[in-house]
Amino acid sequence: MVVRFVGRYEHSLDAKGRIILPARYRPDFGNSAYVSKHNERCLAIWTPQAFERKLDEMEAILDRSPQDRQVVRAWASGSTEVEIDRQGRLAIPAYLREYAHLESAVLIHGVVTHVEVWSPAEWEVRGAPGDLQLAGSSLAQMGAPPGHDPAGSPAGEALHAATQPGGSPGGVPLSPPPAHPSGAPEG
């Protein structure tokens, strides 16, 4: 059976630098996980099986080029095995908290093959534009009339601005989508 992760959760780091892995994810991890540096300054949490697959991917590119070796070195040295306690807590080492700019509040997202841990501030800059891209692609797939340029619509303009380096609509920082009124995660 292939393990897949979806959902968004808001948690916080405790005084010992631990986070709580959401209950719905825990059965797939057992009592250990791997934490690594990941794209856009977030951290990835991998099941042992998914981590083995990622190791295979990294090994395959290790000798391809000097740039690939640098990526593999950074990723491997920025990865560690962690224990998950009975309460579902796992300690994030200080060097990884620093890399991801984690302070107290954290966002935990299921990203199909792994779980990501984000600083809310980093998510605002690096992750939230994906919401606009998704909204833009959804609008385009809903059947815009022939000849209609979605980039000329307000949503298209926001998408274009958000996908430019340092861009956001009107220069205003992007916000994550509003929470579901019940407080439960959407989905």
| Residues in contact with 20: Cβ distance below 8 Å, sequence separation at least 6, in sequence order | 11, 87, 88, 89
User: Tell me, what's the pLDDT at 171?
Assistant: 36
User: Tell me, what's the pLDDT at 132?
Assistant: 85
User: Tell me, what's the pLDDT at 166?
Assistant: 43
Strand 89-91 to 105-110 pairing: unpaired
User: Tell me, what's the pLDDT at 131?
Assistant: 83
The neighbouring-strand residues paired with 106 are 11
Evaluate if pTM is beyond 0.75: no
What's the CA gap between 143 and 186, in Å, rounded?
A: 25
| Residues in contact with 24: Cβ distance below 8 Å, sequence separation at least 6, in sequence order | 7
The encoded tokens of residue 80 equal 């560690």
User: Tell me, what's the pLDDT at 147?
Assistant: 46
User: Please, what is the angle between helix 154-162 and helix 129-141, to 10°?
Assistant: 140
Q: Which domains does the chain have, with CATH numbers?
A: 8-119 (3.40.1550.20), 129-171 (no CATH)
The neighbouring-strand residues paired with 20 are 89
What's the CA gap between 42 and 97, in Å, rounded?
A: 9
User: Tell me, what's the pLDDT at 96?
Assistant: 97
User: Tell me, what's the pLDDT at 127?
Assistant: 81
Task: Give the tens place of pLDDT for each residue, 116-132.
Answer: 999 999 999 988 888 88
Pick out the chain residues at pLDDT < 70. Answer: 1, 138-187
What's the CA gap between 44 and 37, in Å, rounded?
A: 6
What's the CA gap between 82 and 156, in Å, rounded?
A: 42
